[in-house]
A = this chain, B = another copy of it.
Amino acid sequence: MAKPTALSGFPELLPAQRIAEQQVLRTLAETFELHGFAPLETRAVEPLDQLLRKGETSKEVYVLRRLQETSPEGHAGLGLHFDLTVPFARFVLENAGRLEFPFRRHQIQKVWRGERPQEGRYREFTQADIDVVGRDVLPFHHDVEVARVMLDALGRLDFLPALTLQVNNRKLIQGFYQGIGAPDVDEVMRVVDKLDKLPEDEVRRLLVIEAGLTDVQAGAALGLAAISASDDSFVAQVRALGVTDPLLDEGLEELAAVVRRCADLVSDRVRIVADLKIARGLDYYTGTVFETRLEGYEWLGSICSGGRYDSLASDGRTTYPGVGISLGVTRLLVPLMQREGLAADRQVPSVVLVALPDEDAREACDATAQRLRRRGIPCEVAAAAQKFGKQIRYAERRGIPYVWFPGTDGGPDEVKDIRSGDQQSADPDAWTPPPADLTARITTSSTEQGASR
């Protein structure tokens, strides 16, 4: 078999990178579960008619067919899911009678999109979603909840560059555009959403030409979009624009509540900002909307987005409102791996390499290792009874910090920290590495092993 090559858009991680990714995924899942979100997993496939309901994503879907498909129907109607929201909405409808509402779930899974691959855009990638869904009603406080949960989770990933969760509210902007008398509110939103791609003057021109605003109205719309604040001072700034509308009032109150009630989770690494130009495209969001920027990686766009849907799912009789946020794990991590060498500081989970004096001692060394494992210490026994110097280098190459030497002539075992050279006698039923050494550390030094694709 010739040497295989990578597939563009399908990133794979080397062991030290994968250990880092796995730590991130475990931290996310643990944090979501601390907040009572149940782990959910849906099948990878959905009926094509479900996947194509919104039309716009149609060309991104991977369709499945069995190689020896005979029947014309068969699996011709299945495709890989391109997000975790469509499958979740379907799962809720399918199992509504067996779920307790409000239903909180987290879902960490691969999704697939047949897009043209580029840095930060992959054909296979992992997302981590949290959502709360209600039956008929879902009180606003869940909007605050999902923001708090995601901020808590992101705050624990302390190796990341600084993050800003940008929040806005559809009611606020729709109410404002109504309040200024815009003839087509959706069109105004669509044009204002171009502010991160077009110069302000061009947007102003389009607001007049395409959205039918007067110059004064366009100025007001741009005035609103220019407002951002890390506390509820934005309310006074909006009020100063002199526009009144009941929906605007509702949106202002909700957005102020999100920002205020997340304040205790803010740090210099994880911030929350009310940013009144955020609209989340023309999706079906109906209240709070979220986007997230990573400092130094603004070109990635939003790495963590979501919002409130008044109808996440509906079977005609019952409507299920929801609010959620989706973190693009691959999209966040792979660029950091490629550009900053983000990876774990070891290639194996082992904290200890048990050295092997000679092959006959393997059984005894296995027993020592098993005693360490019984107390939760990951370890491995040397693969071959080489000279101890070689075994230490074996550990070094893998980033294993400790080498364990079985006692000779009835003497005690000894353990060596191969970073410091410090060596001391140790009992396999009692010795414990410092907690910081128990699991690999995530580093961003460029001396770590090569980048992924």
Contact = CB atoms under 8 A, between A and B. Distances in A.
Interface of A: 1-7, 10-15, 18-19, 21-22, 33-45, 47-48, 50, 52, 58-68, 75, 78-80, 90-91, 93-95, 98-100, 102-105, 110, 112, 114, 124, 139, 141, 148, 152, 261, 264, 313-316, 347-350, 362-363, 366-367, 370, 373, 376-380, 383-384, 397-398, 449-450
Contact of A95 (B14, B61, B124, B384): B14
Contacts of A363: 261
Identify the 8 closest CB pairs spanning chains A and B, nearest first: A36-B380, A66-B114, A33-B349, A59-B68, A36-B350, A10-B43, A34-B373, A15-B38
Given A62-B65, A65-B62, A67-B114, A124 B43 contact: yes
A52 B64 CA distance: 17
Contact of A61 (B60, B63, B67, B98): B67
A157 B361 CA distance: 30
A15 B41 CA distance: 9
A4 B93 contact: yes
A390 to B, nearest CB: 13
A315 B1 contact: yes
Nearest to A95: B14
Most chain B CB within a 10 A radius of its CB, from A11, A93, A100, A379: A100
A379 B14 CA distance: 36
Contacts of A50: 4
A19 B363 CA distance: 37
Contact of A6 (B39, B94, B367, B373): B94
B62 A64 contact: yes
A33 to B, nearest CB: 4
A75 B1 contact: no
Contacts of A67: 48, 52, 58-63, 79, 114
23 contacts: A2-B316, A4-B94, A11-B43, A12-B91, A14-B99, A15-B103, A18-B40, A21-B41, A34-B376, A34-B377, A38-B347, A38-B349, A44-B124, A45-B124, A58-B67, A59-B66, A59-B68, A61-B67, A62-B67, A63-B64, A63-B66, A139-B383, A261-B363
